[in-house]
Structure 1
């Protein structure tokens, strides 16, 4: 790890620490060091989000995971963070805390065949490192939540004090298709979100941005709000609303740009009208 520069909020490279599955980032939403678990080192995802920062993104699922290697990497890296000088060498002062361990890599993590077993591995390693109070988070598009193996992973995550950040970026078929590259009925998104929230504490994670210089219009925002509210306001922890802070690596990148913070705050107020907690990260 010698010779590496300091971590930056604007740089979430998965190879920063030279490992296959484990990587550190400075998370603006988590507010410190997030230890990432990348179950998609093949850059394969079943969605194609226009704001995605993964280079060479392809359609597909996670490969077979070398669980022994993952366990070794996570154990060693947590030890470096807790007992070594990694924080002093690579993390700016004031941000030298482990805020979470997050399944968030180069594709949809729940597409890994051994997802439930991997969740159990990560929780056990976290606890053995003396970090039982550090939350484990799953960042997911929620598309595979109906699979029993994924549901078992969510139950294990909940039992370990973890939570889900469930991606919802649009509330109309055309918005979902344009933003996420998939054809979905918004009602099915609401049902999947409700199912997920019933298995594990769940936040909605939403990226809002300008498309060809235009902010989402009122109809788009209303449909989005209705989509998440249909899952049951009381069942959700709230909404994590954020803008684009890093350059997309997808062909659509020139069409994607950041919204002014004032616009994001206006959208947040619209969400709050439904009774939902909203955290905004411009």
Structure 2
């Protein structure tokens, strides 16, 4: 069963990729709001979350984050990372840049050892304010699940019909210090076979990784409930073989 985050601040939870993570949800607490409609999204399908959809207010985010950090630091359990994730795409928030500024100031004052991470699908990189904000965080983690537009349309269902892997790759190349994140899976959804683990897929993806030259790559597979129930998790050993091919390019790669 898919699920939503019903609070602005959630956790901390133990993240497979990031350590002890305090989550920040900028999206509506009662519904999902995203520029993708991924077949594996733990929040479910976009259509399952009708309007009204309201972003969480900047001041409320700041107030609740400050309270959570003070509480955790006082208890001797500061988070390793403050992670922007939640019910959709965080960079859609109209105040994303100023919220990142607020967060960095709170981090520096209250919990300077914590890193700030953003999990993003990279659809808003055409907005200069989003690029500036991502350039300031410790871990800008950007999604790219395939080198092929057709596969991205099957896996991620971008809501913008003009979405282009080539355009996103060019934008990623200009983002210093970014981390590339890729979900590998196979199975069937809507009567279509989906598999981004074939040699054709992996080889083309590796070419794109080489071109983008991220500081790190994260590869992972299914770990939570998905709205499409006929998807298959890729074994860890197979992910490790893909990771080894990334590292052969001179780029660190983690498997989660």
Aligning the two structures, in what range does the TM-score lie when normalised by the shorter sequence? 0.7 to 0.9
Which of 107, 127, 141 lines up with 1:147 in the alignment?
A: 127
Runs (5+) with no aligned partner, structure 1? 1-10, 88-95
Query: Is 1:246–2:224 an aligned residue pair?
Result: yes
CA contact (8 A) 2:3 2:44 kept: no
**Deviations for 1:102-152, whole angstroms, at most 9, x for unmatched residues?**
1111111111111110001111112221x1121101111111112122123
| Residue matched to 1:101 | 82
* Alpha-carbon distance in 2 for matches of 1:49, 1:126: 31
Query: Is 1:50–2:39 an aligned residue pair?
Result: yes
CA contact (8 A) 1:62 1:108 kept: no
| Residue matched to 2:99 | 118
Aligned length: 242
CA contact (8 A) 1:215 1:259 kept: no
1:29-178 matched pairs, under 5 angstroms: 29-31=17-19, 33-41=20-28, 42-55=31-44, 57-58=46-47, 63-84=54-75, 98-129=79-110, 131-155=111-135, 157-158=136-137, 162-178=138-154
Residue 38 (structure 1) shift: 0.7
**Deviations for 1:182-235, whole angstroms, at most 9, x for unmatched residues?**
25332112112112x23xx2110111122249672100111111222222x2xx
* Alpha-carbon distance in 2 for matches of 1:97, 1:243: 28
CA contact (8 A) 2:27 2:88 kept: yes
**Deviations for 1:151-198, whole angstroms, at most 9, x for unmatched residues?**
23224x24xxx2200101111111111111125332112112112x23
* Alpha-carbon distance in 1 for matches of 2:33, 2:57: 17
**Deviations for 1:29-61, whole angstroms, at most 9, x for unmatched residues?**
112x21111111241101011111004534999
| Residue matched to 1:27 | 15
Runs (5+) with no aligned partner, structure 2? 189-193
CA contact (8 A) 1:137 1:164 kept: yes
Residue 260 (structure 1) shift: 1.1
| Alignment RMSD | 2.4
TM-score under structure 2 length normalisation: 0.86
CA contact (8 A) 1:144 1:150 kept: yes
| Residue matched to 2:191 | none
Residue 151 and residue 246 in structure 1: after superposition, are their counterparts in 2 closer, same or farther (change >3 A)? same
Query: Is 1:278–2:256 an aligned residue pair?
Result: no
Residue 178 and residue 55 in structure 1: after superposition, are their counterparts in 2 closer, same or farther (change >3 A)? closer
- Determine helix, strand or coil for the equivalent of 2:80: strand
TM-score under structure 1 length normalisation: 0.78
1:186-201 matched pairs, under 5 angstroms: 186-195=165-174, 197-198=175-176, 201=177
- Determine helix, strand or coil for the equivalent of 2:251: coil
* Alpha-carbon distance in 2 for matches of 1:262, 1:166: 23
* Alpha-carbon distance in 1 for matches of 2:3, 2:104: 23
Residue 268 (structure 1) shift: 1.3
CA contact (8 A) 1:143 1:192 kept: no
Residue 97 (structure 1) shift: 5.3
